[in-house]
């Protein structure tokens, strides 16, 4: 058996595809525009407010990359309320208008790192460079987006990579944090962030962005530019760690399809652990053994700290093997645009 990866549509209208809601609606952004795929057509539904200086330089991809003018988030809960984050401000989006709710530390959060509970409350953690190691908040925005609170504050970490609901336990959330020695852990909470069980020793092997779930394991690919990256999984019952195959670059984003495939993407950044110039599309059937099925080469714009790493992301929400949306930056053929692809398992 082998996996096949095929691009079935290129989507230049969508810089980043952020979320697919429970009705299958696809939410994306193009510069400041918030767009929705409806009846096979992309429609503008609202715009984020202008912010300066970033929006002065959004006229070209190199300058947009340098000033991070496309960075933002969208998440629509199962009650149909749409949340947006851009330039450190959190918004409720309704009827083509944005209502500012509150400010956060940092510009926005990592793609796909927001989640919700069974009541529709939305959770996300702050992601920013945090050189002084200030306390980092996990925010809860209530179902109707009319009230909010800091659900938790975490000390002695750099930032939060993601907050993920557990598909096997409706009241359980997992939080990934990093980045350096003594800061990398995977946290579990079953009391809505009042307390946490901490897994890991703070080392790079516990540095994860996205986690993947099976009935028996929590799985991840490590996110390190300084130490060799690996596929890992942790036994749910006793927290024991199993380290699997090496990975040739750090891994940030990914998803699990409704058919049960796990999909992950490597990121081409700068450091001794980055052993490839190609951002890979990886697939697994168990969240632990991975195969590369495609890749996109890093483009020529340097230095990468200014003009961005080579990154592939995908939206939160449910996707099918036959309809997987990817967005990219800093990659040949996948920079500031999105694609729709399919992944199939076939007999050789």
CATH number at 65 reads 2.130.10.10
Percent of the chain with pLDDT over 70: 100
Percent of the chain with pLDDT over 90: 97
Note the pLDDT of residue 347.
76
Q: Give the separation between CA 122 and CA 3, rounded to whole angstroms.
A: 35
pLDDT tens-digit series, residues 272-305? 999 999 999 999 999 999 999 999 999 999 999 9
Do the Cβ atoms of 336 and 64 come closer than 8 Å?
A: yes
Give the residue numbers spanning the domain of 268.
2-346
Mean pLDDT (whole number) for 44-71: 95
- How much is the mean pLDDT over the chain? 97
- pLDDT surpasses 90 at 130: yes
Note the pLDDT of residue 274.
98
Beta strands in 214-260 (DSSP E): 217-222, 229-235, 241-247, 250-256
Mean pLDDT (whole number) for 170-195: 98
pLDDT class of 38 with cuts at 50, 70, 90: confident
pLDDT class of 39 with cuts at 50, 70, 90: confident
CA-CA distances (angstroms) from residue 9 to 112, 231, 256, 281, 330? Answer: 21, 30, 20, 17, 19
Total structural domains within the chain: 1
């Amino acid at each position: 058996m082998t996996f096949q990866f095929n691009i079935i549509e290129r989507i230049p209208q969508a810089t980043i595809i952020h979320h697919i809601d429970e009705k299958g609606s696809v939410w994306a952004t193009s510069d400041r525009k918030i767009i929705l795929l409806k009846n096979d057509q992309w429609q503008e539904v609202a715009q984020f407010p202008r912010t300066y200086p970033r929006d002065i330089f959004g006229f070209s991809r190199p300058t947009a990359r340098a000033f991070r003018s496309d960075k933002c988030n969208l998440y629509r809960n199962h009650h149909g309320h749409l949340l947006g984050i851009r330039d450190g401000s959190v918004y409720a989006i309704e009827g083509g208008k944005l209502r500012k709710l509150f400010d956060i530390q940092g510009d926005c959060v990592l793609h796909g790192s927001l989640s919700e509970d069974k009541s529709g409350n939305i959770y996300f953690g702050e992601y920013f460079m945090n050189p002084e190691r200030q306390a980092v908040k996990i925010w809860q925005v209530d179902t109707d987006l009319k009230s909010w609170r800091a659900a938790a504050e975490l000390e002695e970490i750099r930032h939060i990579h993601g907050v993920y609901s557990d598909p096997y336990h409706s009241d359980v959330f997992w939080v990934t944090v990093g980045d350096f020695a003594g800061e990398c852990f995977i946290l579990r909470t079953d009391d809505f962030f009042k307390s946490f069980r901490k897994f890991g020793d703070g080392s790079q092997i516990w540095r994860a962005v996205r986690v993947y779930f099976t009935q028996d394991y929590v799985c991840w690919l490590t996110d390190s530019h300084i130490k060799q990256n690996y596929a890992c999984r942790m036994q749910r019952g006793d927290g024991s760690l199993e380290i699997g195959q090496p990975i040739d670059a750090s891994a940030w984003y990914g998803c699990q399809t409704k058919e049960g495939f796990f999909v992950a993407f490597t990121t081409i950044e700068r450091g001794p652990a980055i052993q490839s110039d190609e951002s890979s599309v990886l697939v697994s059937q168990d969240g632990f053994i991975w195969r590369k099925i495609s890749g996109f080469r890093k483009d020529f714009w340097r230095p990468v700290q200014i003009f961005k790493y080579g990154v592939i992301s995908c939206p939160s929400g449910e996707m099918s093997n036959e309809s997987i949306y990817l967005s990219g930056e800093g990659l040949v053929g996948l920079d500031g645009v999105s694609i729709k692809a399919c992944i199939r398992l076939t007999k050789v």
